[in-house]
Amino acid sequence: MNPRFEANEILTQGPKTDRAVSDILIEPKDCALVLADQQAGLAFGVGSIDRQMFLNNVIALARTATVFGIQIVVSTSATKVYSGPLLPAIRAAIPEVVAIDRRNMNKQRTTLRAARSCRLDDGS
């Protein structure tokens, strides 16, 4: 690393230029981990990876986000009808996070709204 730049900066090529420009790396306060529909009733649809490995990966990701101080937003849908609650292993990994139970199936809109509200609650 070039000593002229701080440790939290990287060098990249700017658009349409040969000179190096510094970019600040992403900080935890500028991030959020969104976990949508991590429920038993929906896990059966996972077929591209072993379900236990998938669950282990989600738990590792959630724990990593916690260690780095990244906000976590969890949303669920149809918990009482079809999908069931948040998977217990994930709940155990992030017990301080309260899942938002969506009333509609448009998770993008609801989850984005929840992420924005977390950012506002944080004072950002």
What pLDDT is stored for residue 40 in this prediction? 84
pLDDT above 80 for 110: no
What pLDDT is stored for residue 70 in this prediction? 94
What pLDDT is stored for residue 85 in this prediction? 87
| All domains in the chain, ordered by first residue | 26-121 (3.40.50.850)
| CA pair distance 24, 48, nearest whole angstrom | 35
pLDDT above 60 for 10: no
pLDDT above 90 for 26: no
Tens of pLDDT, residue by residue over 75-109, are 888 888 888 888 999 999 999 999 988 876 655 56
Q: Three-state SS across the chain?
A: CCCCCCCCEEEEECCCCCCEEEEECCCHHHCEEEEECCEHHHHCCCCCCCHHHHHHHHHHHHHHHHHCCCEEEEEEECCCCCCCCECHHHHHHCCCCCCEEECCCCHHHHHHHHHHHHHHHCCC
